[in-house]
Structure 1
Amino acid sequence: MRREYSGGGSLSRLSQEFGTFGPLSAQPEPWLTAELDQHAAAVRDSITSGGGLLGRRSLAEYLHGFIDGCRERGWHTGNDGYDWETLRLLAICRLARDRGFVH
């Protein structure tokens, strides 16, 4: 990732920001698809493991909690490439798009 993004807004806004420079608007390379699939599965499992449903609200709550945790650890978005946190954020955005929570 060469450009910083705010990471503090809504699920829709974050998805739009990633869509402008991330691999969400095109077919990513196979290695990236595999990484995003693994992260998406982990997010789904985290939300649904206690009997919760994967919905717009639960995904947005997960997103905000994840970003808060990233900030507490001192992570920032100015990294080049795809670190673990960026991959998780991309997976959250892809889940939101694939489930129809954002357009």
Structure 2
Amino acid sequence: IVAGLWYNFIMISDTVKDIISPCLWGAAVRLLDLEADKFLIIERLLEHGGDRQIEFVLSNYEYADIIRVVRESSYLSSKTVNYWCLFFNLKRENTRCFQKQYRHLSPPF
């Protein structure tokens, strides 16, 4: 932690670690900041989480933040994006996942 910046760091409690760790296996969870790293946290919990993780996301983040992740993430699967589009009444075609250039694994030649 850089001197003078530590006060902006939101510590993650052991309870929160227990909730989010199963979905963030490649991240140093103890170093994550719930606010600064919210895109990553929301993204991974929506994609890999169960009821406990989804409840955490819905109760700890603004709907606007969750919707931003659903619209902008290139990590989320089409199933996950489709579900959250239905939940938030969003148009799938307005998400990165359902835009034409992301629907193909290889470029059309």
Instruction: Normalising by structure 1, report the TM-score.
Output: 0.26
Query: Considering only CA atoms, is the larger Rg found in Structure 1 or Structure 2?
Result: 2
Q: Tell me which of the two structures has the higher relative contact order, counting C-alpha pairs closer than 8 angstroms and 6 or more residues apart.
A: 1
